[in-house]
Amino acid sequence: MAANWKMYKTAEQATLFFDAFNPLVDGVNDCEIVIFPASIAIPAAVNAVTRTAIRIGGQNIFWQKEGAYTGEISGEMLYAAGATWVLVGHSERRQYFHETDADVLKKSQSALAAGLTPIICVGERLEDHKAGKTDEVLVRQFAGGIAGLTEEQFANVAIAYEPVWAIGTGQTATPEIASEAHKLIRSETGKRFGRTAAEQLRILYGGSVKPEKCEGLMKEPEIDGVLVGAASLDPEAFAKIVKAA
């Protein structure tokens, strides 16, 4: 159950979140909880989750280890700060920062090399959805951004299906729509990485997940978790979502 805070919460606000959130999920041990704060709030978040099972991740990564790349952060830097996960290829990164599937592959490889678990995000835009091109887009993103991993690397990634038309719009995909997309991703996985990899792959759904929608989504056998934006900023709402796992 993953929380993408995007460009919200200072370090101080992150600490206040965990003050409220940690007791609400104390005793939850049937799922993994990962929070993705802004990179500047990662040390405060890591500090706030010591002695809990909650893990912290970065929202972005650059593929070089170090160098003259003003404004970028490497996997090694994230790991040294206490992050163990990282989001790769979020649709906002693709839209505003022009990240390509080839970038997604390089970022995923460097995340894995640094000891981070990437959640690789894929999903179709509204026009593709309306034109019935969801499968085509997912197959293309899988081929360009994921299929280039080795089998060993792939065993350590998770994938998030995040239809762009559902992100931040309040238009949650129905459990059936999400499930169909997850099936396709699992089938592409099976073709490239084999049946065991497909069965073991964790696929999260993301896009306007709210506490009242979570139970229906999590009932689908194809949906292994959720990646939550807006609703994860509120400790009570995100705790309810976690408990629907």
Interface residues toward ligand PEP, by CB under 6 A: 4, 162, 167-168, 206-209, 227-231
Tell me the CA distances in angstroms from 203 to 7, 51, 98, 137, 225, one per residue in order: 24, 27, 24, 17, 7
The residue among 110 and 232 lying less far from ligand PEP, judged by its C-beta, is: 232
Block residue for tokens 């790991």: 79
Kindly report the number of other CB atoms within 10 A of residue 15's CB atom.
15
d(CA 63, CA 130): 34
The residue among 104 and 228 lying less far from ligand PEP, judged by its C-beta, is: 228
Question: Quick check: is 90 catalytic?
Answer: yes
SS3 of residue 194 by DSSP = coil
The residue among 93 and 186 lying less far from ligand PEP, judged by its C-beta, is: 93
Gap between the terminal Cα atoms of the chain: 7
Min CB(93)–ligand PEP separation in Å: 10
Question: Quick check: is 162 catalytic?
Answer: yes
- Which one of 90, 92, 124, 222 is the catalytic residue? 90
- Which one of 32, 92, 162, 222 is the catalytic residue? 162
Min CB(183)–ligand PEP separation in Å: 20
**∠ at Cα 85 (79, 86), nearest 5°?**
95
Min CB(91)–ligand PEP separation in Å: 8
Catalytic site residues?
90, 162
